[in-house]
Chain A
Amino acid sequence: MGGKLVDLLNVEDITELTERAKKIRQHIIKMTNAAGSGHPGGSLSAVEILVCLYFRILKHNPKDPHWAERDRFILSKGHAAPALYAVLAESGYIPIEELMTLRKLGCRLQGHPSMTVTPGVEMSTGSLGHGLAVANGMALAAKLDRKLNRIYVLCGDGEMDVGEIWESAMLASHYKLDNVTMYLDRNMLQLDGPTEKIMSIEPLADKWKAFGWYVQEIDGHNMREIMMATEHAKNTHGKPSVIICHTVKGKGVSFMEGTVHFHGKAPNKDECAKALEEIGACKL
């Protein structure tokens, strides 16, 4: 890639975004604890990606969620809904207090995102493997309408098992959808265990390259790298981009890190207190 490696974040940016990430992690722990169910592990692994998206990358307007020129973000791994709701609340789409209604009867914060009830949710997701194809549809529409907005999608690594992912990988490449950027949350674990044990998906980068995508691999918790890779994706023409983000499932809470135990299980009262203590106070 020809793009020069500019530092897109200064010290103040890093401080701010790091604090925001802490805040999002606190919300995820509190929300799932209050709900008594949910998916903290895969929510925590995607925090830095979502923080960068909602506070730096996305062209969006929380006061006007349907603004026609906005960039789109699709959470293909819909079970990371707590993380999405947390950034939507911190961005101003929904009240922060509402986060505690997650998964409760009559709430707007469904267990998996529903675009018809929650402001800022661009697509209803939850059944895995759909998000990239939906993003492609949005990207085709943007090209037809000569719009410069970009389409971002976050997929889990377990989703790579889904055949439709590869159908849509072909389509994005065939139609040269360079307005599509996919973040692949490579936390190495899916519900039943390690991805390479359940259904091996490696060599992942080679697969995406073979499908005609521009591939980057980064540390998915390093916000400088997330910003830089996104900038490279923007500057890539004629092909879609995937950013393989190496992450840790349950990141930020020692007893949740690198285990499938908290893939789909909420922390209890004691675990919640311990997790919040580890995450530490947020200065925002």
Chain B
Amino acid sequence: MQAVKSDWKMESQRKTYGKALVELGKTRKDIVVLDADLSSSTQTAMFAEVFPERFFNVGIAEANMMDTAAGLAASGKTVFASTFAVFGTGRCYDQIRQSIAYPKMNVKIVVTHAGITVGGDGASHQIVEDIALMRVLPHMTVIVPADAPETRAVIMKIVENKNPTYVRIGRTDVPTITDPEENFEIGKAQVIRDGTDITLIGTGIMVSRCLLAAEELKKHKIDARVINMSTIKPLDEKTIVKAARETGAIVTAEEHSILEGLGSAVAMTLGENASVPMRRVGVPDIFGESGDCEELMEKYGLTAENIVEATHEVLSRKK
């Protein structure tokens, strides 16, 4: 099974983010952007070029960046703070907790290079714990867009509120699978394929793999529903419970540790509201390593085949 379909368009979420910032910057004079010496990678450099007076490079100082962001937000600015996911969470967790989440600052932490698809840089740069870190923070919204159009929709939507928000995107180009006409709403999951036998709930780049798995399952006469759970927090529990009741089995898929990410959040929801057989597809509780993206996705169990296998296992337990 291929990782992408030949007719899927591949697009960069990072470039989409950079372009969205520039677009917003034209009308929203309150927007300022901070980066920690990675602007040419995160693509905030696009904003820096058009609006140099509203862009602040803080150097390799993520803690400083988050507190500076909080100060700007306290003075009425809508602040985007960007770096790699590994640095934008772990290196500055205290700053995010104390100065952004606790006082509910209007800071949008948009990180790139999340997960193992960072590739060759290896485990030091492949964070698979960031969703866990962010979703336990009170006041924090956590969003993982599935593709480029949804990335744009998310960026346009989050500036309509003043809540602290974490947006996670990856390094690689990803297949475009969402409908740009579809309205993105924070906290609202989208059923992108209907089905009755099982529900595959994916987030980020795993949503397209859920779609591939659903097509494969169809060959086995298994009718899978696919949900794009781009908002991890607040979690759309209603859609999860409905899917559990209607399809009776759940598989989750995320490019994140199976501990405390999407899978855990869904499992907790099911456990308390609609207990059905479920399985989590994600990175096992281990660190990553260097390698080609697709090799890593295979080694760490994040392919469409893994979702298909998980489905068969779950269905064997379904009453």
A-to-B contact residues, CB < 8 Å: 72, 114-116, 122-127, 130, 133-142, 144-145, 163-164, 167-168, 170-171, 175
Q: List residues 61-94 of chain B with CB under 8 A from any CB of chain A.
A: 61, 63-64, 66-77, 94
User: Inside 8 A of A140's CB, which chain B residues have their CB?
Assistant: 32, 56, 68, 71-72
| Distance (whole angstroms) from the CB of B82 to the closest CB of chain A | 16
| B63 in contact with A137 (CB, 8 Å) | no
Interface of B, secondary structure class, is helix
CA distance A127 to B98 in the complex (A): 7
Q: Which residue of B lies closest to A164 (CB)?
A: B63
Q: Which residue of A lies closest to B56 (CB)?
A: A140
| Distance (whole angstroms) from the CB of A35 to the closest CB of chain B | 21
| A123 in contact with B68 (CB, 8 Å) | no
B32, B67, B71 interface centre (most CB from chain A within 10 Å): B71
User: Inside 8 A of B72's CB, which chain A residues have their CB?
Assistant: 137-138, 140-141
| A134 in contact with B59 (CB, 8 Å) | no
User: Inside 8 A of B104's CB, which chain A residues have their CB?
Assistant: 116
- Tell me the number of A-to-B contacts counted with CB atoms below 8 Å: 101
| A126 in contact with B98 (CB, 8 Å) | yes
User: Inside 8 A of A72's CB, which chain B residues have their CB?
Assistant: 74-75
CA distance A175 to B65 in the complex (A): 13
A134-B67 CB under 8 A given contacts A116-B104, A140-B72 = yes
| A137 in contact with B75 (CB, 8 Å) | yes
Q: Which residue of B lies closest to A131 (CB)?
A: B67
| A122 in contact with B59 (CB, 8 Å) | no
A137 touches which of B59, B61, B70, B98 (Cβ 8 Å): B70
| A135 in contact with B71 (CB, 8 Å) | yes
| B61 in contact with A167 (CB, 8 Å) | yes
A141-B103 CB under 8 A given contacts A164-B64, A167-B61, A168-B64 = no
| A136 in contact with B32 (CB, 8 Å) | no
B54 at the interface (CB under 8 A from A): yes
CA distance A192 to B59 in the complex (A): 33
| B54 in contact with A133 (CB, 8 Å) | no
User: Inside 8 A of B54's CB, which chain A residues have their CB?
Assistant: 144
| Distance (whole angstroms) from the CB of A131 to the closest CB of chain B | 8
| B67 in contact with A164 (CB, 8 Å) | yes
Taking residues whose C-beta sits less than 8 angstroms from the other chain, chain B's interface range is 20 to 34
A124-B98 CB under 8 A given contacts A137-B68, A137-B73 = yes
| A171 in contact with B75 (CB, 8 Å) | no
Known contacts A137-B72, A164-B95; can you find 14 more A-B pairs with CB under 8 A?
A123-B70, A123-B71, A127-B98, A130-B98, A133-B64, A133-B68, A137-B70, A138-B74, A139-B71, A141-B72, A141-B74, A141-B77, A170-B59, A175-B56
| B58 in contact with A171 (CB, 8 Å) | yes
| Distance (whole angstroms) from the CB of A259 to the closest CB of chain B | 29
User: Inside 8 A of A137's CB, which chain B residues have their CB?
Assistant: 67-75
Interface of A, secondary structure class, is helix
13 contacts between A and B (CB under 8 A): A72-B75, A114-B102, A114-B103, A124-B99, A127-B97, A138-B75, A144-B77, A164-B64, A167-B61, A168-B64, A171-B59, A171-B61, A175-B56
B32 touches which of A133, A134, A144 (Cβ 8 Å): A144
CA distance A122 to B76 in the complex (A): 12
| Distance (whole angstroms) from the CB of B94 to the closest CB of chain A | 6
| Distance (whole angstroms) from the CB of B60 to the closest CB of chain A | 9
CA distance A170 to B63 in the complex (A): 13
Q: Which residue of A lies closest to B98 (CB)?
A: A127
CA distance A162 to B62 in the complex (A): 14
User: Inside 8 A of B103's CB, which chain A residues have their CB?
Assistant: 114-116, 123-124
CA distance A196 to B32 in the complex (A): 40
| Distance (whole angstroms) from the CB of A94 to the closest CB of chain B | 18
A133-B56 CB under 8 A given contacts A115-B103, A127-B98 = no
User: Inside 8 A of A136's CB, which chain B residues have their CB?
Assistant: 67-68, 71
| Distance (whole angstroms) from the CB of B318 to the closest CB of chain A | 47
CA distance A134 to B66 in the complex (A): 9
A127 touches which of B32, B76, B94 (Cβ 8 Å): B94
Q: Which residue of B lies closest to A68 (CB)?
A: B76
CA distance A114 to B173 in the complex (A): 42
